Amino acid sequence: MVRVSGTRAGQVAQAVLGRLPKPRHATYAAFLDQDGQCLDDGIALYFPAPHSYTGEEVLELQGHGGPVVMDLLLDRCLKLGCRTARPGEFTERAYLNGRLDLAQAEAVADLIEAGSAQAARSARRSLEGALSKQVEALLAELTALRVAVEAALDFPDEDIDILQEAQVARRIEALLRRLDALQQEAGQGALLQEGMRLVIAGRPNAGKSSLLNQLARREAAIVTHIPGTTRDVLRETVSIDGLPLHIIDTAGLRESEDPVEQEGIRRAWAEIESADAVLLVVDDRVGEGKAERAIRERLPSKLPVITVHNKIDLTGHTPGETEQRIYLCAQSGLGVDTLRSHLKARMGYTGSGEGQYLARRRHLDAMKRTRAHVQDAHGALQAGAGPELVAEDLRLAQESLGEITGRFSADDLLGEIFSSFCIGK
């Protein structure tokens, strides 16, 4: 499909189709070159402004799909005065023309890139405005609070002692509770959007690749009894009740003279540095020893470590979770469901899916800053500070929260967001 958006869309339709199609109706037509010869034929759709995705005139030409034919059709449009779109430019125009807010625009990309069915459903809710409606409701309350506080500034001779009224303090406290609830929901949405990055580490032949295969539910990695079989980093993305889990299997961590194995170990440590959590796989027959202690000492101090005792089929250990350790058999899958449940709990993911929407890290950051400013306003109110300080804190909170929907957004932020879109969106 070739999509044209802008003031020239109607002119392109006249030139390529010989007529302007009936608005919002699928029209079968021949696509003509500059000499009136047929390049292709297919379906044409015309949307007059503002009733289109971008809010501008839009023409869509759906051909047979061959790359050569479509290139000829695209070249025809370019010669008629069009230019190729930048990544995300159609959605950017929809945002700038008020057809979508910024959170909804991001949801378009999230829907395309959804890694699970649950993520796709949640992205759809974001696109429909589930997150935006909550943000707008909080913005309305912030605006009302600012009006109440700033009345004390604008009308000092009217004896408006609004800051001394307990009602304002209660409204700020209620707003803080609503922000906490929104942060909790958005945190779940961020997990759905980004998932968890999990590195499987341990000494050679502890069963790391077998565990990867169990979590992936397929033979993603080669498994042998020979230590050092895994030489490079293996990546697999799986879904646990809708939570995307990005698993990285690494080479066994040990001292080695083999230059190829040394490179694999170097890459393993590089992956560990950027992980959300590490699965430290231990051979239950020998337990934790010098090798595991050396690994723990080198791990980043704040990196969560989940200890997994593997090969319990050879030790008779009961599968399950005991004293912060998970006992399982990666070869047969016994106890792996316990690990899956543990991973969800560790990330704070409920997995209910009902009413859930996707969120991004920038949304969480904006909410965190908003809450901090509202908390500052509450503190200033309790301390008997002047209305100027309270009003300023509320203004900063309003701006931070407005960044989510794009009410207050810098141009460089917009450029960063839309540059991540694919061409044609």
Q: Does domain 2-84 have CATH number 3.20.170.30?
A: no
Q: Which phi-psi region, left, alpha or beta, contains residue 228 (left: φ > 0; alpha: ψ -120 to 50)?
A: left
Q: How many CB atoms lie within 10 A of CB 17?
A: 18
pLDDT value, residue 94: 93
pLDDT value, residue 62: 95
Locate all alpha helices (DSSP H) within 217-325, ordered by sequence.
259-273, 290-298
pLDDT value, residue 255: 57
Over residues 332-343, the pLDDT tens digits come to 989 999 988 888
| HSE toward the beta carbon, residue 204, CA cutoff 13 A | 17
Please compute the mean of the pLDDT values over residues 27-52 and round it to a whole number: 94
Locate all alpha helices (DSSP H) within 195-289, ordered by sequence.
208-216, 259-273
Please report the sign of the dihedral spanned by the C-alpha atoms of residue 298, residue 301, residue 304, residue 306: positive
* Among the ranges given (155-164, 207-216, 340-349, 373-382), the one the predictor scored with the smallest mean pLDDT: 155-164
Quick check: helix, strand or coil at residue 30? strand
pLDDT value, residue 58: 96
CA distances from 259 to 208, 227, 256, 264, 268 (A): 21, 15, 8, 9, 14
pLDDT > 90 in the chain, percent: 41
Q: How many CB atoms lie within 10 A of CB 18?
A: 12
Residue 299 has pLDDT above 90, yes or no: no
| pTM of the predicted structure, to 2 decimals | 0.69
- What is the pLDDT confidence band of residue 224, given thresholds at 50, 70 and 90? very low
With the CA atoms of 277, 125, 53 and 111 taken in that order, what torsion angle do they form, in degrees rounded to the nearest 10? 30
Q: Does domain 196-346 have CATH number 3.40.50.300?
A: yes
CA distances from 193 to 138, 151, 277, 285 (A): 23, 42, 17, 39
Distance CA 30, CA 41 (A): 4
Every domain of the chain and the residues it spans? 2-84, 196-346
Phi, psi (deg, nearest 5) at residue 147: -60, -45
Do domains 2-84 and 196-346 share one topology? The answer is no
Q: Starting at the earlier edge strand, list the strands of the sheet with 277-283.
A: 234-240, 243-249, 196-202, 277-283, 305-310, 325-327, 320-322
Q: Do residues 264 and 230 make contact, with C-beta atoms less than 8 angstroms apart?
A: yes
pLDDT value, residue 344: 81
- Partnered with residue 309 across adjacent β-strands are 282, 327
User: How big is the chain by its Cα radius of gyration, in Å?
Assistant: 28
Distance CA 237, CA 243 (A): 10
| Residue partners of 345: CB distance under 8 A and separation at least 6 | none
pLDDT value, residue 268: 72
Residue 231 has pLDDT above 80, yes or no: no
With the CA atoms of 330, 336, 342 and 343 taken in that order, what torsion angle do they form, in degrees rounded to the nearest 10? 70
